[in-house]
Amino acid sequence: MIPDAFALPPGQIYLLGHSLGPAPKAALDAVTRAAAVEWAQGLAASWNDAGWFAAPGRLGDKVARLLGAPAAAAIVADSVTVNVFKLACAALALAPGRRTILLEAETFPTDGYVIEALARLRGDEGLRVERRPHTELFEDIGSDVALIVTAQVDFRTGAAFDLAACTAAAARAGARVLWDLSHSLGALAIDATAIELAVGCGYKYLNGGPGAPGWAFVAPHLAEALETPLPGWFGHAAPFAFEPAYRPAAGAQRFAAGTPPILSFAALEAALDVALRVAPRDAEAHVRALQAAFLDALGDALPCVTPAACGAHLAFTHPEALALKTALIGAGVVGDFRPPDTIRFGFSPLFLTERDVIDAARIVRETLAQDDWRGAAHAGVVT
Amino acid sequence: MIPDAFALPPGQIYLLGHSLGPAPKAALDAVTRAAAVEWAQGLAASWNDAGWFAAPGRLGDKVARLLGAPAAAAIVADSVTVNVFKLACAALALAPGRRTILLEAETFPTDGYVIEALARLRGDEGLRVERRPHTELFEDIGSDVALIVTAQVDFRTGAAFDLAACTAAAARAGARVLWDLSHSLGALAIDATAIELAVGCGYKYLNGGPGAPGWAFVAPHLAEALETPLPGWFGHAAPFAFEPAYRPAAGAQRFAAGTPPILSFAALEAALDVALRVAPRDAEAHVRALQAAFLDALGDALPCVTPAACGAHLAFTHPEALALKTALIGAGVVGDFRPPDTIRFGFSPLFLTERDVIDAARIVRETLAQDDWRGAAHAGVVT
């Protein structure tokens, strides 16, 4: 779509945008400017002059636009882990008589750790966490269920929930859903009216840089009723009045907490501006076109385990998936490995062309047809 | 001491290192390298190849060295706000029979917000927060007190607690202290054996950049007994095994949570390396020399309200402190204003010389002696 907006190293087809998106050229410029000009020359005056102070809300508004939501419905702050904690804790207080949190059994582990910890922290209330398989998560939701926490897209298989149908099923049972959209926003078109609570990262399909700050969305009709368990000065109605008592800011801003890491914010903001150049429905349509072209060109070379209702990555299994991933990197196709036997290819919309993915599929086929691909050394464990 | 290590804009004497430290030249290089090389060229492989994955622990070890503590006693992660929550929550679990948290009445507001929220969150246990004046915080500590939370250095007056004496007083009463050392580390020599739990920011005297990530310290004898309320995958013993159950990493690493914002980490790491070039006791001695030189040159031009036992900034009162701050910025001396009537000057050790602060004092005297300094426009509210 707009590959010229990205600084892509030559000689590789990067099918890893679902892990760490590549660098938008504007993000590189923005980071250098934030450091060398705003910080080094502007110093503390840049909190006003360079708009640092307003960054959590300003970036949040851009996330909201990508979600198709009104301004002030989202905030950029902290990490996904911390934002899951904040929103889950706030949501539980809205359903004081209910004691169960449903969690997808295979959800991204850090989300599960935080939810289990939250239940322990509030152990006196008898909160309990019930883990369910993906296919049963939204079935038979009992009257004790306060909250359902899950990623929309399974980080391993790529299977995706239908946001509107699942949120509605939960609502019929009187429960709310906290969606982790880390594998969604930037690749899939989201209908903001179909979600009430959501979090996501900035570093996958949003291309905001390594460990880019996370975001949190709360539906406008809920925001004023929500209380953050981590009230920091950036979520205060008047941060620089230094009031001893906390008063929440309006809307999602209340979920900002401490001082934001501005250099990482600068990269993410530029990346959000790049993402906003493409309508989300066009981005998703391109994802589907890339996936179809890849699968068509791949043929039966590798078995795909991703169902039709899916996010932007496809998962394949191979008994020697790790060695295969390594061999493919050597051949210029970058995917990743998830234990025990999964290889993932991400079809990030903004910088990949159909030509790229057809070439990639050809290289996968050619590699598998060689005798010696298993001999390639393993380059690392983290990708 | 080492002003050549910093990129300082000409024409101003920057007495605002207690708010946002200036940019170390190496930090600017590190940010550009992290973005343009490690991210843009190395892409996801940089999680291993560029050492991103190990960053929270590696930077934590550097913080530990500055504290005079062993490796693995500190971690760099999240913000001060979030780290106060994590450590306070963990510490309370060590004293299950005690129900009171003492809080300095005038502590930095965000610390207070979080502690009050934590008490509400665990309301079923009857936790209560008692706010006390600075001078009474460590007096008559009752047998119900689990934890005392305070900054070492008061962000307004600059008054500083004696870490060892106060920690010992708390220990005699069976209580622990969570120190916020945001205004301490990088300016004052800390005796790590005199503290058990501490947090701090990276953007003041550590010169780590705007909103630089925070750090958390836990004494080695306590770490293994502490449970984080925000268990994220970066605090897991084996993050990339993607285990559904949380197992804490050893030492302070368990207090890492979500994916770290690497671009901001890169700046902070370079700044920590600069800070480590000067022995903390030498840095503190230089702070004291700068303060003495400034006060001597200032004479009775402005009343100083900072007591002798203090941190690295000095606070002065003036009925028109905001206008005076603005006029001084126009004259090349950068301090800041805190409502209602305080003007603060920070004596950050690494980049200021005695010549600088003597010049600054002269400019303060000259400005006050002019008739028209009140006419200067107010340049902003946030510094």
Start-end of H helices in chain A: 25-32, 46-49, 55-67, 80-92, 109-121, 163-172, 220-223, 262-275, 280-298, 321-330, 354-369
Question: Is the separation of the CB atoms in B64 and B71 below 8 Å?
Answer: yes
Output the pLDDT for position B381. Answer: 38
Instruction: Quote the ipTM score.
Output: 0.96
CA atoms within 13 A on the CB side of B204: 25
Tell me which residues of chain A have a pLDDT lower than 50. Answer: 377-383
Q: Do A121 and B121 touch (CB under 8 A)?
A: yes
Residues 6+ apart with CB under 8 A from A347: A15, A17, A187, A287, A290, A291, A294, A312, A313, A314, A357
Orientation of helix A25-32 relative to helix B25-32, angle to 10°: 180
Residue B383 is predicted with a pLDDT of 40
Residue pair B231/B257 in contact by the 8 Å Cβ criterion: yes
All structural domains of chain A with their residue ranges? 3-23+279-375, 26-275
Contact with chain B for residue A35, Cβ under 8 A: yes
CA distances from A133 to A102, A239, A249, B212 (A): 10, 43, 38, 39
User: What burial class does residue A165 get, using C-beta atoms within 10 Å of its C-beta: 0-12 exposed, 13-18 middle, 19+ buried?
Assistant: exposed
pLDDT of residue B228: 96
Mean of the pLDDT values across residues B307-312?
98
Terminal CA-CA length for chain B: 25
Closest CB to A210 among B122, B262, B379: B262
Contacting residues of B for A35, CB less than 8 Å apart? 23, 27-28, 31-32, 209, 267
Q: How far apart are CA B358 and CA B91, in angstroms?
A: 45
Q: Give SS3 for A232.
A: coil
pLDDT in tens, B83-123: 999 999 999 999 989 999 999 988 888 889 999 999 988 77
Q: Among candidates A133, A212, A215, which has minimal Cα distance to A179?
A: A215
A116 touching B, CB under 8 A?
Answer: yes
pLDDT tens across B174-211, in order? 999 999 999 999 999 999 999 999 999 999 999 999 99
Q: What is the pLDDT of residue A108?
A: 81
Give the Cα-Cα-Cα angle B342, B345, B348 (nearest 5 degrees).
Answer: 145
Give me the residue from A35, A79, A124 closest to B31, CB to CB. Answer: A35
Q: What is the pLDDT of residue A379?
A: 44
pLDDT band at B242 (very low <50, low <70, confident <90, very high): confident
Q: Which of B180, B217, B254, B351 is catalytic?
A: B180
Residue type, B135: T
pLDDT in tens, B208-229: 999 999 999 999 999 999 999 9
The listed CATH number (3.30.160.340, 3.40.50.720, 3.60.21.10, 3.40.640.10) that belongs to domain B26-275: 3.40.640.10
Interface of A with B in 157-186 (CB under 8 A): none
Shortest distance, CA B118 to any CA of chain A (angstroms): 7
Residue B163 reports pLDDT greater than 80: yes
* Nearest-Cα residue of chain B relative to residue A230: B114
CATH topology of domain A3-23+279-375: Aspartate Aminotransferase, domain 1 (3.90.1150)
pLDDT of residue A98: 95
Assigned token pair, A377:
């050394």
Nearest to A209 by CA among B52, B20, B201: B52
Q: With beta carbons under 8 A apart, name residues in chain B contacting A117.
A: 228-231, 246
- The Cα–Cα gap between A57 and A52 comes to 10
pLDDT value at B129 more than 70: yes
Summarised one tens digit per residue, pLDDT across range A113-157 is: 999 999 988 776 789 999 999 999 999 999 999 999 999 999 999
Question: Which pLDDT score, from 0 to 100, does residue A124 have?
Answer: 66
Predicted local distance difference test score (pLDDT) of residue B379: 44
For A64-107, what is each residue's pLDDT tens digit?
999 999 999 999 999 999 999 999 999 999 998 999 999 998 88
